[in-house]
Amino acid sequence: MSTQPIELAAPLAPLAASRPTYLMCPPRLYDVNYVINPWMAGNVHSSSRERAAQQWHRLYEALTEVADVELVEPQPGSPDMVFTANAGLEHHGIVALSSFFHAERQAEEQHFRHWFQDAGYTILDIPRETPFEGEGDALFSTDGTRLWAGHGPRTTAASHHYLSKIWNVEVVPLHLIDPRFYHLDTCFAPLENNYAMYYPQAFDASSLATIEAFYPPSKRIIINEPDATRFACNVINIDRTIILNDISRELTDQLEDHCFHVVPVSLSEFLKAGGAAKCLVMRLSAAKVGTATSSSGRHSQAPLQ
Ligand SMILES: NC(=O)NCCC[C@H](N)C(=O)O
């Protein structure tokens, strides 16, 4: 019998899982200055900048656990710039820049344009006559086979054909009919492992049938009105992690039963403007970022406010 100590094989270094990258905008200039959705009504100047900063930082910290974050500087006169999901839609290094429906947000377009230019993206414009509000209304299915595209309150159905031309992808229109859920990302979320969360009443009958034809019953996570109005569908989903505003215990349990790891971050100050976790971030192709020469950059620490 050998007396040689058994040599244990050195453990394999874990494969570096590629971390996704997101764009965020610090809330230094965030406020509710006007009313362009039902959540803002009665909330003009009612948000606390200090609380908003704390909540945004918690979101930033939760996100940087699982992703890299780039920052764009907030700009005077654009208090909604914190909702970077609405800057545009980026895929394969190309950005379809948003063409905002409301004049109140149109000044943001030039600021985001500069950031994407400096970061080396190819920018394609969507005409002013056919408003398009970026990732707020355009979400790829997690298998990448289709682009779900909302229309109605903000984005026009006529803008969708630009998206299918840019990426040669099937664009599936979903008609939003409840003014509280004015962007697709407020009422619908494709999730990993081909699940989807959605608030059915936000859609017309044929759009709902389209969603249900794609997701079999076992893959549907149906959100009730109390959770929908907590922006439960407005999630950042990275692998099994789901970052979102506070939701009910029942929904948390349901998500955990489907093996998701739920990370709640209270975002009450941003709900006053009609946005939550997913609205505060925009997904980017990692390949392009890090080349920016503007005030943005890759940050591993929470930035100063
Ligand atoms: N749903 C989103 O993607 N973004 C939230 C945008 C809030 C902003 N106050 C707006 O009404 O456009």
Query: pLDDT at position 14, please?
Result: 43
CB neighbours of 133 closer than 8 A, spacing ≥ 6? 86, 98, 100, 101, 154, 155, 183
Rounded distance from Cα 37 to ligand 1 centre (Å): 8
For residue 296, what pLDDT is reported? 36
Q: Is the ipTM of this complex over 0.85?
A: yes
How much is the pLDDT for 290? 55
Identify which of 30, 86, 135, 180 to mutate to test ligand 1's pocket (most ligand atoms within 8 A of the CB): 86
Pick the catalytic residue: 160, 183, 187, 233?
A: 183
Q: Residues enclosing ligand 1, CB less than 6 A? A: 36-37, 40, 80, 83, 85-86, 105, 136, 183, 185-186, 273-275, 279
pLDDT at 144: 87
Atom 5, ligand 1: residue with shortest CA distance: 275
At 22 the pLDDT is 98
Q: Which atom of ligand 1 is nearest to the CA of 137?
A: 3
Mean pLDDT per 10-residue segment, the chain (305 residues): 38 58 98 98 96 98 98 98 98 97 98 97 97 98 93 98 96 98 98 97 98 98 98 98 98 98 98 98 77 38 34
Q: Please give the model's pTM, rounded to 2 decimal places.
A: 0.90
Residue 102: what pLDDT?
A: 98
Q: Which atom of ligand 1 is nearest to the CA of 32?
A: 9
Catalytic residue at 187? no
Respond yes or no: is residue 259 known to be catalytic.
no
CATH numbers and ranges of domains, the chain:
22-297 (3.75.10.10)
**CA 275 to centroid of ligand 1, rounded, Å:** 5
State the pLDDT at residue 174: 98
